[in-house]
Amino acid sequence: MIIPCIDLMDGKVVQLVQGREKALEADGPLVMLDKFKAFPEIQVIDLDAAMGRGSNDELIRLVASHATSRVGGGVRSVDRARTLIEHGAHKVIVGTAAFQTNGVNEEFLRGLVAAIGRGRLIIALDSKAGRIVIKGWRESIDLQAEQVIEKLEPYCSGVLCTYVDKEGMMQGTDLDWFRRLRAATSLEITAAGGITTLDEVRALLAMNVHAALGMAVYTGRLDLAELARL
């Protein structure tokens, strides 16, 4: 499956480079949804919530009312996960709060499963310089994604794995990393970060990994009509 991304900041649809530098502002959410209408799911990340400086809940409700949406950004409590479901999210993406410095935050994840169900949870398992990164990709913990992915299986229906080293840079992604992750778990895997070419998208789909696409779509590097045909 190919999943277009809508990232929200300051009430606008944006794209960032490595989660920090804003590279562009796009059309409004409804315009982007119309462009993405051929795709079965949309990924929505509230960057303001992820950075702890407010939220874009009105836009989340708008997007979720028009498309099947997996929504994340700043989900650090059970109440927040419930709120996103109430806003219409099909699934909730949880990142930072899923981890502690020494491993998986199993107590928190058990609470989430009890509240909204394992089938509605996706855990963000993001990597930079070979280590899992949290808190808007600004902090790393001394663990590799390959070491913990199996431990996440009781708590989610899938993982969102971002190759942060190349996120937003359109320089290609690390297909070997995704192959290692695919070999390590039976969970649904969604790949993100640096995916730039149709060949990369095809390679991910061939290994049964979904492709979440942002910058390459917004800049026109990847053509939506060609992607829809895949």
**What is the set of active-site residues?**
7, 126
Cβ neighbors of 147 (< 8 A, separation 6 or more) are none
CA distances from 123 to 26, 61, 139, 217, 229 (A): 26, 21, 17, 24, 28
Rg over alpha carbons for the chain, rounded to the nearest Å, is 16
71 pairs with which residues across the strands?
Answer: 44, 92
3-state secondary structure of 69: strand
3-state secondary structure of 145: helix
